[in-house]
Every structure is written in C-alpha cells, then in structure tokens.
Amino acid sequence: MKAGPIIAVVSVVAVAAIATIFVVVPMFQPEIREIELVMVDYGFNKPGFGPTLRVKAGEVVIVKLRNDGAQTHEFMIVPDKEKSLMMMKKVVNEIDERPVSEEEKLEIYDVEHHEVMERMMRMYDFSIEPEEVNSVPSMVMVTVEPGEEVSFRLVLSTPGTYWYVCQEAGGTWPVLHQEKGMEGKLIVEAA
C-alpha cells in the first residue's frame, strides 16, 4: 500500500474522530435550563405579576434573578403562599405596634422574617445550591438588592405545586410585596 491512500484513510479517521468529539460528546452533557426573572417594584417581570414556572422533580435549573426595582426583593419558595403570608403578617403586625420609626420596623422585620422562614423551610425537601456563593446570602431564600444580579442552582425533589414569593416590605410597609402581587406559581412535575 502506498503512502497516499494511507494518509487519506488516516485523515478521514482523524476528521471523523474530531467530528465525534465536537458533535457527539455535547449531546451526552445534560443541558441545564435557565430560568430568568426580572424583579420590579412590585412583581416578577412586571408589577403585580409572576409567571408560572415549571420544573421536573430532581431537575437542576439555574435561576437568574435581576433586580431592576428601587427596593430590595427576594425569591423565596413556599409550599403554601396563604399560610406563609399569614405567618408573616403576624410578625409584621406585632412589629408595627412597637413605638419605633418605620425604618427601625423594617430592620427588625428583616431579621425576624428570615428567622421564621428558615425554620419553616427546614421542614421541606428541596435545596437551593448557590452558584455564586458570595451573592447568595441564604440557603433558603435569595435576596437581591437594587441593580444586583444573582444566579443559583435550584433542585426541587418533591413533585407538587409551590409558590415563589417576595415578602420584603421596603417601600410598602406594613404591606408586603407579596400582597402587591409579587408571587408566582412553581409547578414541580414528576420526573
């Protein structure tokens, strides 16, 4: 066999191998879906609104949050939005009776709100894994300051209907942003 045909065969094999690496390999990599939400005063994507999100149980998704509003907002997942709102209104009403300024009330609320939700969240089977550790202050709820962008991995393992809400109260005290319509449905479908 002459060198020419051998080189030709080797070339074809090499091209095929390279093509396999570039074409086939990426197909085996699971594609991670991205869910993007823009926070505004007071809603997700637009005031008084939150789009319905759908994920599969166990699916890893990347949630990207951008706060275009003038107030601090949060993305917090709750199984029952009415119950969690009731719990939080109780906290708000108790703080509201204190003889302190509205600014101080908001500061007290910021601490108590997070404590109550962290206790409640420990009862549920889901996880938020921070992708950018520095920009995710909490494992159970993500707070985003005005002009800030945060992204994190989210995995929900139990099928069901959940809600994502913002229970911040900056600019609306003693009304919560959730009461202004800052909430949306999060459906976790069986895998």
| Long-range contacts formed by 87-93: CB under 8 A, 24+ apart | 87/116, 87/120, 88/113, 88/116, 88/167, 88/176, 88/178, 89/176, 91/116, 92/169, 92/173, 92/174, 92/176, 93/174
Binding status of residue 81 toward Cu ion by CB under 5 A: no
Q: Which conformational region is residue 181 in: left (phi greater than 0), alpha (psi within -120 to 50 degrees), or beta?
A: left
Tell whether residue 177 is a contact of Cu ion (CB under 5 A). Answer: yes
Nearest approach, Cβ of 73 to Cu ion (angstroms)?
3
Pick between residue 61 and residue 182 the one whose CB is nearest to Cu ion: 182
**Contact flag: residue 113 with Cu ion (CB under 5 A):** no
The stretch among 99-107, 114-122, 131-139, 167-175 that binds Cu ion (CB under 5 A) is 167-175
Taking the complex as a whole, the smallest distance from the CB of residue 59 to Cu ion amounts, in Å, to 26
Token code pair at residue 81 = 């939005």
- The CB-of-74 to Cu ion minimum distance in angstroms stands at 6
Measured from the CB of residue 130, what is the shortest distance to Cu ion in angstroms? 20
Contacts 24+ apart (CB under 8 A), 94-99: 96/173, 96/174
- Count residues binding Cu ion (CB under 5 A): 5
Least CB distance from residue 168 to Cu ion, whole Å?
4
Residue 105 touches Cu ion, criterion: CB under 5 A: no
User: 191 is written with which tokens?
Assistant: 């895998």
- Decide whether 117 or 168 has the Cβ nearer to Cu ion: 168
Q: Which is nearer to Cu ion, 73 or 114 (CB)?
A: 73
Where is 165: in which H helix or E strand?
A: strand 160-165
Q: Which residues bind Cu ion (CB under 5 A)?
A: 73, 166, 168, 177, 182
